[in-house]
Amino acid sequence: MKNFDFLFVSKLKRPAATVLATLAALLLTTSLQAQQRLTVSGVVTDAASGEPIIGASVIVASTYKGTTTGVNGDFMLTNIPAKDSLIFQHLNYTRLVVPVNGRTKIDAKLSVSAVEIEEVVAVGYGYVPRSNLTSSIAVISEKDINKTPVSSIEQALQGNATGVLVITASGEPGSEVAMRIRGGTSISGDTSPLVVIDNIPSDQTALSLLNPNDVAGIEILKDAAATAIYGSRGANGVVMVTTRSGQAGKPTLSVNAEYGLSIPRYRIEMMNSEQYAEYDNFARMMWGVNSFNTLRPDTLTTNDYQKRLLRDIAQRHNYTVALQGGSKDMRYYISGGWLSEEGILRNSSNERLSFSTKFNMNLSPRLHLDIKASLSRQQTEKISSGDSGATLRMLMQKPTSTINGTDLGDGTYIDEETGEIKSINTEAAKALNSNQWNKRTTAELNAVFRWDIDKRKYWTFNSTAGYKYNNSNDYAYVLRSIYSTEAHIDKNNKATRKTSQGITWSNENFINFSRTFSKKHFLMWTLGQSWQRQESEGFNIDVTRFDTDYFMWNNLGAGAYIGVPGSSYKAINHLSFFTRAIYTYNERFTATFSLRADGSSRFGEDSRYGYFPAASVSWKMTKEKWLKNVKWISELKPRFSVGVTGNDRIGEYKSPTMLSSNKVLVNGQSYNGTTISQIGNPNLQWETTHEYNGGLDVGLFKNRIRFSVDAYYKKTYNLLYNYRLPQTTGYSQVSANVGNIDNKGVEFEIHTRNIEHRNFSWNTDFNIGWNKSTITDLGGNDHVVLYHMGNGVNQDITFLEIGQPLGIIKGYETSIYKNWDEVYADDAVWVEDPLNIQTRPGMIKYIDQNGDGVINDQDKVVLGQALPNVMGGFTNTFNYKNWSLTVFFNYALGGKIINTNVTKLDLYQAGNNNAYADGLGAWRPANPITGDQGWMGGSKPLPSSNSSPSTARLYTQNVIDRWIEDGSYLRLKTLSLTYTVPEKISRKIGMQRLMLSLKGTNLWTWTKYRGFDPEMSSSVGTSNSTLGIDRSSYPASKSFTFNVNITF
């Protein structure tokens, strides 16, 4: 070899020989480095008992990459530098650092310690130790996810992270969930956080199709310094989800089985037949209605429609089977899941099938390949909701009525028992008789390919490619059997089909450099690029008048009337470049700097790119000499961050002018033409949020007490809004940047290990967050309507107003005319456009705020805001030997709910509907004949009647304080008891591990809200414009779940 080298070099000129020799030296160095990289395996056990420790972290010291131990405490790591070190750590065990020293087999024994381990936290395109964090990040562990039986990941976040508001739009299985992190930063755009699953950006809907049992952990990036690495998509926070990976070793099969029973959490107290008769007779008497329909309370029986529509017991099944194992060069994880849950209302349900695989392969000492594929399919059956939905209609249904009778074809029927002609409560009939179907099926396929290339000891290159295909189909059919006459077939015998599908391509490429210099300077630098393209298309059609119900929506051509079909297509592109540097000096000071440039096709060419910088610093004061000897302080770390993020989620094609095809008449002749359907705005810009965050992390008494406090201030500029145009323009609206909004708040969380003994421990976690938003600019306007409600109400409900919080509720304050003196003194002041009503005692009185004798918009006041000011949760966990008890509460304070149901249930109209049971406390006059002294202090108004519909309009067609209710609550969210069978016993019956759990959910709720649930108050959507509006939302339930977790 030496002779060959000599002969080869001698034939080259000296400069060339020098270059070649240098290259040879580099290659030789690289070869030696490659030879010094090892595959290391071993077992982690408890030093005292010798039992394997499951889920212990094994981390490579130089890169902070690693793995966790399997069910036998075993682990395997590849491509480890021979002179590196491994860090072994687990909750409540002493951290252990072991030099590799060229070994391929390393076993570790961990001793129990009063000091908790240090977590490694995902920060987006990398990991850092928790002690080096300079920004605000919440960590949700696998234990937090599993403590409550949930159907989706969003539900597991509720109350577990400060500053994170989770709102379920409905108690219906599979219903939409809204998330808000540190308040709302947008008024009309999407305010949900960015979701990143295994490094692939997605939207929040992806979480509903993810099996919670496949999730290993979640990080929530909250402040701008943490989210700026995701640029324009991080303004609303980032939820990072890491799914499970396989562990090297013998194959292990795990089975997680849940069976649950749900019952109605709460039944709204409505009038029974006796109360209804008394109230009905009183109303008829007050309004002089003919008394031949007077009801006799002693002859009536109560028909409880809540009991008829609400299931006594709804069942829930959730099963997951997972297989994992592998060798040093290939690990695998394969799982399948089935979820089936009945809704607490009849004819509603949700079913999900999921399948997931993940393979981690070492193709060479330097090249690693991860492949993940998942497939899920969800099917939900729904009942109608809203003002005409089954939920409200079952409450309105009179307790004296029945829906069994002969249909007269005009919306009424002949009661079989009494012979009376009564109105059909259509939606209640549909729900009871199963004559209407609403079904949605959703399928999603995800594939992720990730390459890791270790260029040298300090360099790694990562490339991730993702593909997602999703398909959604909505089916609706109303049977002709609901009505028996031709008059209704044309309207109600109808099939509806909607379908949509989309494809998302993603590619993420980045380089990471990490190295420690001179033992004091640590640098991690990231440089990367991101690209994503989303395409989607949709189609919908309605068909009516089928001769038979046999085919339902499966033979649309059989219908006599085919509606005008609709179709759509949209495409979105994102292209980004980013960089970040994390520098730590002497394990004391850490500084992070990042910059991202984002391009979005949603904006015009001049505004397409946005630039989002961020910086943050932290100081580990406990590393200072003057604090090292203060033993009771384990950690003291102040943090400060500043950053800019953006938001482009305003819908598609808002910037260009849009055209549409229409037919026009010219001289009586029809021609096809093209008209402008939308005025474009080429100057449309990004919403940008500037955020400042100051925080303090404290650990006391060897971290027996650990807490963090954060204070933040966010200012969002150039709010995106669909601005109303004057009618003279010929167009309804245009997208524009109209103003600014501020959010400020404080977050506090504390973890305490109250008692720690060998056989007993007690831990407490508590978090609370406070947020206040303020509108500071509306583009020259004093106020802007945020949400307008139609459907008979036809009122502006929520507003944006300078100096006020986001989404304030404005309306009239009211009282009751107690006597004729008050009526005469008020001179019968009414709302503008008088309703020609004869004012009388007991009727609603509108407060004339400015005293001008006229009730109009000038007399509206702020009645509240929808978003709560304070929210949080607290957990107590008790462990005794193999038993564990978890008690979890969550709460919210300060939010108001617009309970539009009261417009139907609080103001009774004689002969039309039932009412709240407390309506008996309404104002009533004295009756000298019966000796009734009356009730002048009644808080409820005089009941209405069919002969006085105008009085109902005073109550229902103006937003008044009687609609607004306190949405504050305190809830026992979860009570869980778990028993882990001793390993000696489980192995005797052929199992490595056996764990049994009994869990109760929503067991107790304290609230003043009269609706079904204060958490599920928005049946009209989950945007900022509709939060806190309850229009017949689906009832909530309490559940009891038995869980068995087995590992073979």
Is 47 within a domain?
A: yes
Ranking 245-254, 394-403, 753-762 by mean pLDDT, the lowest is 394-403
Distances (CA, A) of 1040 to 264, 715, 1037, 1045: 12, 44, 10, 17
Q: How confident is the model at residue 592 (pLDDT cuts 50, 70, 90)?
A: very high
Identify which of 189-198, 208-217, 582-591, 929-938 has the greatest average pLDDT. Answer: 582-591
Do 62 and 15 lie in a common domain?
no
Whether residue 90 is found in the same domain as residue 58: yes
786 φψ region: left (φ > 0), alpha (ψ -120 to 50), beta (else) = alpha
Boundary of a domain, candidates 62, 95, 117 = 117
- On whether both 68 and 19 belong to a single domain, the answer is no
pLDDT at 3: 38
16 and 59 both lie in a single domain? no
Residue at 520 is within a domain:
no
What pLDDT is stored for residue 568 in this prediction? 85
Number of structural domains found in the chain: 2
Query: What pLDDT, on a 0 to 100 scale, did the predictor assign at position 911?
Result: 60
Element (H, E) at 155: helix 153-157
Model pTM? 0.76
Assigned token pair, 489: 């077939």
- Predicted confidence at residue 367, as pLDDT, reads 86
List pLDDT tens digits, range 24-41.
Answer: 443 334 444 444 678 888
pLDDT, one tens digit per residue, over 525-554 is 999 999 999 999 999 988 887 777 777 778
Cα 439 to Cα 349: distance, rounded to the nearest angstrom: 9
Compute the C-alpha angle 538/566/649, nearest 5°. 50
Q: pLDDT class for 673, splitting at 50, 70, 90?
A: confident
CA atoms of 831 and 833, how far apart (whole Å): 6
Same domain assignment for residues 56 and 103? yes
pLDDT digits (tens, 9 = 90+) for 144-171: 777 666 667 777 776 677 777 777 766 7
Question: Strands 808-811, 740-756: parallel, antiparallel or unpaired by DSSP?
Answer: unpaired
What average pLDDT score do residues 42-48 get?
A: 81
Question: Using an 8 Å Cβ cutoff, are 194 and 226 in contact?
Answer: no
> Taking the CB of residue 868, how many other CB atoms lie within 10 A of it?
23
Residue 971, domain member (yes or no): no
Give, in degrees to the nearest 5, the angle at Cα 378 between 1014 and 652: 75
DSSP 93: B
46 and 108 both lie in a single domain = yes
3-state secondary structure of 931: coil
One domain, residues 46 and 79? yes
Per-residue pLDDT, 115: 47
What tokens were used for 820? Answer: 């004729």
Q: How confident is the model at residue 427 (pLDDT cuts 50, 70, 90)?
A: very low
* Type and span of the H or E element at 26: helix 14-35
Lowest mean pLDDT among 59-68, 754-763, 945-954, 960-969: 945-954
Beta strand 896-899 pairing with 1029-1030: parallel
pLDDT of res. 485 = 43
Residue 22 has pLDDT above 70, yes or no: no
Which pLDDT does position 375 carry in this prediction? 92
Q: Does any domain span residue 12?
A: yes
552 lies in a domain? no
Alpha carbon of 482 to those of 220, 390, 500, 665: distances in Å? 49, 14, 30, 41
Asked if residue 11 has pLDDT above 80, the reply is no
| Encoded tokens for 957 | 């067609």
pLDDT of 392 > 90? The answer is no
Q: Is the pLDDT of residue 338 over 90?
A: yes
Lowest mean pLDDT among 63-72, 243-252, 470-479: 63-72
pLDDT at 683: 78
Percentage of the chain exceeding pLDDT 90:
15
Residue-level pLDDT at 494: 81
Residues forming a β-bridge with 99: 85
pLDDT of residue 21: 39
75-89, 185-199, 785-799, 814-828: segment of lowest average pLDDT:
785-799
Report pLDDT for 936.
Answer: 60
Q: What is the C-alpha to C-alpha distance for residues 223 and 461, in angstroms, rounded to an integer? A: 27
Is residue 452 scored above 90 in pLDDT? Answer: no
pLDDT of residue 501: 93
Where does a domain end: 79, 100, 117? 117
Residue 97 maps to a domain = yes
What type of residue sits at position 74?
A: D
- CA-nearest of 573, 279, 313, 314 to 400 is 279
**Is 23 exposed, middle or buried, given 0-12, 13-18 or 19+ CB atoms closer than 10 A?**
exposed
Find the mean pLDDT for residues 1026-1030. 76
Q: Which positions ≥6 away from 939 have C-beta within 8 Å?
A: 816, 921, 922
User: Between vectors from CA 152 to CA 149 and to CA 157, what angle results, nearest 5°?
Assistant: 80
Nearest partner of 142 among 57, 51, 230, 249, judged by Cα: 57
- Taking residues 253-261, what's their average pLDDT? 90
pLDDT interval class at 416 (50, 70, 90): low
DSSP per-residue codes, 416-472: TTT--EEE--HHHHHHHHT-EEEEEEEEEEEEEEEEEEE-SSSEEEEEEEEEEEEEE
Task: Provide mean pLDDT across the span 264-277.
Answer: 86
Q: Do 41 and 27 lie in a common domain? A: no
Per-residue DSSP letter, 1033: P
Q: Burial of 569 by CB count in 10 Å (0-12 exposed, 13-18 middle, 19+ buried)? A: exposed
Q: Residue 993, Cβ neighbours under 10 Å: how many?
A: 17
Whether the CA torsion 476, 480, 481, 484 is positive or negative: it is positive
- Structural domain for 24, as ranges: 1-31
Is residue 107 within 8 A of residue 53, CB to CB? The reply is no
Q: Distance from first CA to last CA of the chain, Å, rounded?
A: 55
**Are both 25 and 90 inside the same structural domain?**
no
CA diameter of the chain: 130
Residue 52 corresponds to which tokens in the numbers above?
């394997």
Residue 696 pLDDT > 90: yes
Domain boundary among the residues 117, 133, 168 is at 117
Cβ contacts of 238 within 8 Å, gap of 6 or more = 124, 193, 194, 195, 196, 220, 221, 226, 227, 230
Q: State the residue for tokens 């004339």.
A: 848
Whether 234 maps to a domain, the answer reads: no
Residue 831 CA to its chain's centroid (Å):
40
CATH number at residue 63: 2.60.40.1120
| Residue 364: HSE in the Cβ half-sphere, 13 Å Cα cutoff | 9
Residue 766 to residues 706, 769, 876, 885: CA-CA distances in angstroms? Answer: 11, 11, 9, 16
Average pLDDT over residues 115-125: 65
Mean predicted confidence (pLDDT) in 453-461: 79
Q: What sign does the dihedral 926-928-930-931 (CA atoms) show?
A: positive
Q: Residue 507: pLDDT band by 50, 70, 90 thresholds?
A: very high
Angle between helices 14-35 and 2-10 (to 10 degrees): 150
Distance CA 397, CA 386 (A): 15
Other CB atoms within 10 A of residue 651 CB: 15
Question: CA–CA separation, 314 vs 247, rounded Å?
Answer: 37
66 plus 94 within the same structural domain: yes
Q: Is residue 257 part of a domain?
A: no
Give residue 489's pLDDT.
44
The tokens of 430 are what?
Answer: 């549909």
Place of tokens 């520098």: 583
Region 941-947 average pLDDT: 65
Distance CA 271, CA 309 (A): 17
Residues 937-961, mean pLDDT to the nearest whole number: 65
Q: Which residue has the higher pLDDT, 909 or 457?
A: 457
Question: 106 and 49 share a domain?
Answer: yes
Of the ranges 277-281, 449-453, 517-521, 977-981, which one carries the lowest mean pLDDT score?
Answer: 277-281
DSSP letter assigned to residue 391: H
The rounded distance, in Å, linking the Cα atoms of 780 and 159 is 39
pLDDT at 202: 79
More confident residue, 408 or 708: 708
Q: For 281-285, 405-409, 564-568, 705-709, which range has the lowest pLDDT when averaged over its residues?
A: 405-409
Q: How far apart are CA 729 and CA 943, in angstroms?
A: 45
Q: What is the CA radius of gyration of the chain?
A: 33
Same structural domain, 41 and 26: no
CB neighbours (10 Å) of residue 632?
Answer: 10
**Are the C-beta atoms of residues 52 and 70 closer than 8 Å to each other?**
no
Residue 305 CA to residue 399 CA, distance in Å, equals 7
Residue 100 predicted with pLDDT over 80: yes
Q: Which of 84-93, 323-332, 847-856 has the lowest mean pLDDT?
A: 84-93
Structure tokens, 964: 């607004």
